[in-house]
Amino acid sequence: MRPAINRTEAKNPDGAEPRDQRDTKERILDAGEALFMEHGFEATSLRQITAAAGVNLAAVNYHFGSKEELFQAVLTRRLDPMNGERVRLLEQYERDMGERTLSCERILNAMFIPALRLARDNQRGGKNFLRLLGRAYADPAPFIRHFLSEQYAPMIGRFKTAFSRALPHLPKKELVWRLHFLMGAMSYTLAGTDALKLIAELNPSESGNDELLLQRLAPFLVAGLQAPLPDLAEPKAEIERARA
């Protein structure tokens, strides 16, 4: 018989986790993380996942309810703690600074450092997960977009006000756009080592080094955030002129 689909609480009376359930669920999450990362959500089948995890096909629906819920569980498992850590770190920085305003560099650090810690935690699939996350950001599936925006909203809101304080001259609307660009560069960067070959072949010894990668990304983004305001007047003249 199957228990209620949505509830994962089915412990024994003594409070100890049933060992095999934990193993099965975690094996599924690990296999799902790797395969979703490699092929995306739609192109990954439950049969691939259960085969890679060494469990029965029906185990996914038994433990998670559906393929979509499995995908969300794969994301939540790492995203939840990481975003919590980001907010915690940001608030600690703010406490340390007292009344003085926080610099953009430090705010960005509060976003990057938890991601770096995750990337470094290889025994728990860190690097794979960051690639998966970057891809999920670009996935058109509505349930993924809903899930991510709900998962991210509190953190993004918190950082938006922090950046807004660090860049007082920047209009709110402009800041929103620039945060959007920032998330784009970050997601895209995390998503693909492959995509990088689009631009140039890279020394494979340096590839896979996500830490250097984020350290190169940070100054790029800080400079972008602090860029002068765009001149929004009369773009069409330039465009038409170039046609000649």
Partner DNA sequence: GAGTGTTTCAAACGTATGTTTGAATCATAT
Partner DNA sequence: ATATGATTCAAACATACGTTTGAAACACTC
List residues near DNA by CB under 7 A: 1-3, 10, 12-14, 16, 18-21, 23-24, 44-48, 55-63, 66-68
Binding string, residues 28-47; x marks residues near a copy of itself by CB under 8 A: ----------xxx-xx----
Choices 13-21, 50-58, 71-79, 111-119; region in contact with a copy of itself by CB under 8 A: 111-119
Tell me how far, at minimum, the Cβ of 150 lies from DNA, in Å: 20
Q: Which H helix or E strand runs over 191?
A: helix 172-191
Q: How far apart are CA 57 and CA 51, in angstroms?
A: 8
Query: In angstroms, rounded to a whole number, what is the distance separating the alpha carbons of residues 16 and 128?
Result: 30
Q: Considering beta carbons, is residue 53 or 89 the nearer one to a copy of itself?
A: 89
Query: C-beta of 19: minimal distance to a copy of itself in Å?
Result: 31
CB 123 → DNA: shortest distance, Å?
Answer: 22
Is residue 224 at the binding interface for a copy of itself, with CB under 8 A as the rule? yes
Q: How far apart are CA 126 and CA 131, in angstroms?
A: 9
Which of residues 2, 180, 205, 237 is near a copy of itself by CB under 8 A? 180
Q: Which residues contact 158 (CB under 8 A, 6 or more apart)?
A: 87, 90
Look-up: residue for tokens 């739609």?
42
Q: Is 97 in the site for a copy of itself (CB under 8 A)?
A: no
Q: Which is nearest to 119 in space by CA: 224, 223, 215?
A: 215
Structure tokens at 173: 């609307």
Residue 239 near a copy of itself by CB under 8 A = yes
Q: With contacts defined by CB under 8 A, how many residues of the chain interact with a copy of itself?
A: 78
Q: Report the 10 Å Cβ neighbour count for 228.
A: 6
